[in-house]
A = this chain, B = another copy of it.
Amino acid sequence: MSEPFASPASAREQEEGETFRPRFDAAGLVTAVVTDHETGRPMMVAHMNAEALDLTLETGIAHYWSRSRGCLWKKGETSGALQSVRDIHVDCDQDAVWLSVVSAKPEDTCHTGRKSCFYRRLDSDSRKLVAAHS
Interface contact A35-B31, CB-CB below 8 Å: no
For chain A, the bracket of interface size reads 35 or more
Contact of A92 among B20, B91, B98, B119 (CB under 8 A): B119
Say yes or no: is A132 at the interface (Cβ < 8 Å to chain B): yes
What is the oligomeric copy number?
A: 2
Query: Could you tell me if A92 and B112 are in contact, using CB atoms closer than 8 angstroms?
Result: yes
Q: Which of B40, B110, B120 contacts A90 (CB 8 A)?
A: B120
Interface string of A116-134 (1 = CB under 8 A from B): 0111111010011110100
- In the assembled complex, how far is the CB of residue A65 from the closest CB belonging to chain B, in whole angstroms? 14
Which residues of chain A in 25-72 are interfacial with respect to chain B, using CB atoms and an 8 Å cutoff? 31, 33, 35, 40-42, 44-45, 57, 60
Contacts of A57 in B (CB 8 A): 122, 124, 127
Instruction: Give chain A's interface residues, CB within 8 Å of chain B.
Output: 15-20, 31, 33, 35, 40-42, 44-45, 57, 60, 85, 87-92, 96-98, 110-112, 117-122, 124, 127-130, 132
